[in-house]
Structures are given as structure tokens and as C-alpha cells.
């Protein structure tokens, strides 16, 4: 068998030219073959639709990136290796939630990573850091802007007993992990900015290019963190677009939504019981700021928005619309379902 070449690793900013990118994958309907619900059409029919349309959309995204000159790699879960659905934390749907490329290191600092081995084994060991620990280092919460890293390390949980400047930590990001990587990155020339909002940054703001940000309201002090940059604030408009979600909201704890199945209690009970870790938290990412830049002049977004597209035009950015139809089931926009592996660019100081 021909040995596959190693994947180059580099990333300093989310708007630098993208050359190598991982794309996630969902589940296959045959995974449920041995379960009693396999013959229950009220459950299996919508699950089959999710499975098929999710894969169709991944292939569409793959083509968008390939046509733009990006080398893509698909994460894939081999169900035969995990033997049972009970052994699956979740399919490799959102690689962004598990990994980070910072500088020339690919960080796999997290818990279960089923489905990603086929990509990880192609990364040279000198560029790879794997640690099986509680917590995660991922570019869903670490935003890279050249020399500056903006890391949301979690909500205020309890006081820290150590005399560490960041006085709090979350259960998902232990204080020793925060301390270790802060010191490491600072030794590599980064300025590390901490926040503790407790949700994914890529669902709340997007650095489109130097000088341009799309954001929800009340996320951070942009005048302080990004002086002189223009920020487009989006109004609370998405709830009206998915108003049927309100019918499911209480039943599912705000975690997921599948259009047309708001009153399918059998499906809701099955997903909440068997797939609870598979779905995300849709209330966290209702707005469409979860976007992926191919370079400073090209960005992939989830749908059309006149205000956003006018902002893009002003900053000479060409949008590509990619409709991930089940993003409200998986809680994943185009940024979540990808993980950039190599971007051109260097550790530039954008605030010098």
C-alpha cells in the first residue's frame, strides 16, 4: 500500500490563505440496525434524512473547498472498531470543537476523539501534541490573530487556590491546563488574552479579515481588544426564522432542532436518551456568524444576510453560501464542521 504524505501544519490567523482542511462526518443509518427502534419509522425516517442530507452537505462543502484549491481530508468513524453505539461519544461531526492549530502545532488536547485517527496519523509527530485530559484546546474557543490569542477558557466556577493571575477556571478547562498553555504560548511570542464567557467564540463573533469583525452584541470590548477595527453587530433576528424550534425547546432542553419534527415525541425521546452527547447546544449559536474564511477576500457563510453581505462588499470580501441543512440538529456551522490544518501566513502583529 502506498504511504500517504504527511499533512503540513500551520495556522496564525483565521483569514490567512487556507490550503489544507479537515472536514467532519456524521452517522450512517446502518449503525442502528441492531437496535429495536430500527423498524420504528417515526424515529428512523427523520434519522435517515439527517444522515443522508448531512453527508450530502459535507460533500458540497468538500467541493467548494476543493474548487478553491484547498486540499481536504474527511474525518471518518469506523463503526466496526468501536463495536457498539454505546462506545461512541459522538460522530466526528464538529472537528473544530476538539482540535486547534496554533503556529506549527496541531493540538489534540481533549477527551474522546473517535473518528479522527485517519487524519491524525498523517500528521508528523513533530507537529502533533496529543494529551488525553479533561478539557480541550480548540479553535472554537481560541481565536488566533497573528501574535494575539483570544482564549475563552470557561465560566466562573470557583476560586483558584493558586496565585495564578487568571483567578478562575471551568470544569472543562482545568487551571493547570490554562496555566501550562498560557505560559507555553507566551514563550512562543504570543500575547494571550483570557475571557470566561463560557461558550464557543466562533458562535458569537468572526474575524473576517484585519479591520473587520462580525459579532453579536455584548461579546467583548472591541475598542480595547481590537482598536480601530470596524465591527458589524447583528440584531437578534434568527429566532423568528426558526420559530418552530420554540415548540421543541423545552422538550429538548434547548439542545437541538429538526424542522418538521417538533411534535414527534418518540424521536425526541430517542435522541435525548441515546444521542444526547451527539447533539450540541443550539441556543448558543442561533446567529449565522459561524463562518470559514478561505482567504482575506473569500468567506463561506451559512446563508444570505443583506446587512452582512453589504459589510462584506465594503471590505472587498466575496461570500460563498453553504447551507448546512441540519446545523440546528448538530449545533454546527461551517466553521464548526471544519478544522483548518494549514494556512499560509506568519505570526504577524496586527496591532503594532
CATH class belonging to 18-343:
alpha beta
Q: Check pLDDT > 90 for residue 92.
A: yes
More confident residue, 63 or 1: 63
Query: Which of the residue ranges 97-111, 156-170, 187-201, 306-320 would you say has the lowest mean pLDDT?
Result: 156-170
Query: Which of the residue ranges 126-135, 315-324, 341-350 would you say has the lowest mean pLDDT?
Result: 126-135
Mean pLDDT of 206-229: 90
Orientation angle between helical segments 265-274 and 41-67, nearest 10 degrees: 70
More confident residue, 153 or 181: 181
More confident residue, 287 or 74: 74
More confident residue, 165 or 338: 338
For residue 230, what are the β-bridge partners?
Answer: 212
Q: Which of 326, 289, 334, 292 is nearest to 307 (CA)?
A: 289
Cβ neighbour number for residue 81 with a 10 Å cutoff: 10
Tell me 136's DSSP state: -
Q: Check pLDDT > 90 for residue 143.
A: yes
Q: What is the pLDDT of residue 22?
A: 98
The answer to whether the beta carbons of residues 200 and 289 sit under 8 Å apart is no
Q: What is the pLDDT of residue 324?
A: 87
Q: What is the pLDDT of residue 216?
A: 80
Give pLDDT tens digits for 165-200. Answer: 333 334 467 888 899 999 999 999 999 999 887 777
Q: What is the pLDDT of residue 63?
A: 98
The answer to whether the beta carbons of residues 29 and 44 sit under 8 Å apart is yes
Q: What is the pLDDT of residue 16?
A: 98
Beta strands in 87-199 (DSSP E): 100-102, 105-110, 128-132, 142-145, 148-152, 158-159, 168-169, 191-195
What does the alpha-carbon distance between residue 38 and residue 26 come to, in Å, rounded to a whole number? 18
Percent of the chain at pLDDT > 90 equals 48
Give pLDDT tens digits for 75-86. Answer: 999 888 876 666
Q: Check pLDDT > 50 for residue 128.
A: yes
Q: Which pLDDT band holds residue 345 (cuts at 50, 70, 90)?
A: very high
pLDDT, the chain, mean: 82
Q: Which pLDDT band holds residue 344 (cuts at 50, 70, 90)?
A: very high
More confident residue, 240 or 45: 45
Q: Which pLDDT band holds residue 303 (cuts at 50, 70, 90)?
A: confident
What does the alpha-carbon distance between residue 81 and residue 288 come to, in Å, rounded to a whole number? 36
More confident residue, 40 or 88: 40
More confident residue, 82 or 14: 14
What does the alpha-carbon distance between residue 114 and residue 53 come to, in Å, rounded to a whole number? 22
**Alpha carbon 223 to its chain's center:** 26
Mean pLDDT of 130-140: 86
Q: Which of 14, 97, 74 is nearest to 340 (CA)?
A: 14
Query: In angstroms, what CA-CA distances link 345 with 153, 185, 208, 259, 348?
Result: 26, 18, 15, 41, 8
Beta strands in 264-351 (DSSP E): 292-295, 298-301, 318-321, 338-343
Q: What is the pLDDT of residue 104?
A: 98
Q: What is the pLDDT of residue 242?
A: 43
Q: What is the pLDDT of residue 85?
A: 67
Residue 160: exposure state from Cβ atoms within 10 A (0-12, 13-18, ≥19): middle
Q: Which of 55, 31, 79, 87 is nearest to 277 (CA)?
A: 87
Per-domain residue ranges for the chain? 18-343
The answer to whether the beta carbons of residues 136 and 89 sit under 8 Å apart is no
Q: What is the pLDDT of residue 248?
A: 52
What does the alpha-carbon distance between residue 77 and residue 87 come to, in Å, rounded to a whole number? 12
Percent of the chain at pLDDT > 70 equals 77
Give pLDDT tens digits for 235-294. Answer: 654 444 444 545 555 565 655 555 666 667 766 676 666 555 554 544 444 447 899 999
Q: What is the pLDDT of residue 12?
A: 98
The answer to whether the beta carbons of residues 23 and 73 sit under 8 Å apart is yes
Tell me 85's DSSP state: G
What does the alpha-carbon distance between residue 279 and residue 272 come to, in Å, rounded to a whole number? 9
Q: What is the pLDDT of residue 255?
A: 58
Dmax of the chain from CA atoms? 63
What does the alpha-carbon distance between residue 70 and residue 260 come to, in Å, rounded to a whole number? 35
For residue 169, what are the β-bridge partners?
Answer: 158
Amino acid at each position: 500500500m502506498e504511504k500517504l504524505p504527511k499533512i503540513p501544519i500551520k495556522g496564525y490567523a483565521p483569514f490567512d490563505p487556507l490550503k489544507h482542511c479537515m472536514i467532519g462526518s456524521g452517522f450512517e443509518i446502518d449503525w442502528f440496525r441492531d437496535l429495536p427502534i430500527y423498524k420504528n419509522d417515526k424515529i428512523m425516517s427523520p434519522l435517515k434524512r439527517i444522515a443522508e442530507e448531512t453527508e450530502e452537505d459535507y460533500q458540497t462543502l468538500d467541493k467548494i473547498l476543493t474548487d478553491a484549491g484547498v486540499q481536504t481530508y474527511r474525518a471518518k468513524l469506523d463503526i466496526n472498531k468501536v463495536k457498539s453505539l454505546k462506545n461512541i461519544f459522538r460522530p466526528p461531526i464538529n472537528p473544530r470543537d476538539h482540535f486547534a492549530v496554533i503556529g506549527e502545532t496541531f493540538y489534540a488536547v481533549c477527551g474522546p476523539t473517535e473518528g479522527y485517527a485517519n487524519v491524525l496519523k498523517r500528521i508528523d509527530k513533530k507537529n502533533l501534541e496529543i494529551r488525553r485530559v479533561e478539557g480541550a484546546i480548540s479553535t472554537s474557543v481560541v481565536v488566533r490573530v497573528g501574535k494575539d490569542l483570544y482564549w475563552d477558557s470557561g465560566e466562573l466556577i470557583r476560586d483558584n487556590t493558586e496565585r495564578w493571575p487568571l483567578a478562575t477556571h471551568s470544569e472543562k478547562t482545568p487551571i493547570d491546563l490554562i496555566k501550562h498553555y498560557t505560559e507555553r504560548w507566551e514563550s512562543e511570542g504570543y500575547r494571550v488574552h483570557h475571557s470566561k464567557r463560557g461558550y464557543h467564540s466562533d458562535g458569537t463573533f468572526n474575524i473576517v479579515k484585519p479591520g473587520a469583525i462580525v459579532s453579536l452584541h455584548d461579546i467583548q470590548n472591541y475598542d480595547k481588544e481590537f482598536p480601530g477595527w470596524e465591527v458589524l453587530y447583528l440584531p437578534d433576528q434568527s429566532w423568528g426564522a426558526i420559530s418552530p424550534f420554540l415548540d421543541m425547546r423545552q422538550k429538548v432542553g434547548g439542545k437541538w432542532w429538526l424542522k418538521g419534527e417538533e411534535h414527534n415525541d418518540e424521536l425526541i425521546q430517542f435522541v435525548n436518551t441515546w444521542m444526547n452527547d451527539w447533539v450540541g447546544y443550539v441556543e448558543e449559536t442561533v446567529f449565522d456568524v459561524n463562518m470559514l474564511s478561505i482567504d482575506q477576500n473569500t468567506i463561506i457563510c451559512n446563508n444570505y444576510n443583506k446587512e452582512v453581505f453589504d459589510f462584506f462588499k465594503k471590505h472587498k470580501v466575496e461570500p460563498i453560501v453553504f447551507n448546512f441543512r441540519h446545523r440546528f440538529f448538530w449545533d454546527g456551522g461551517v466553521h464548526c464542521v471544519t478544522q483548518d490544518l494549514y494556512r499560509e501566513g506568519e505570526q504577524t502583529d496586527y496591532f503594532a
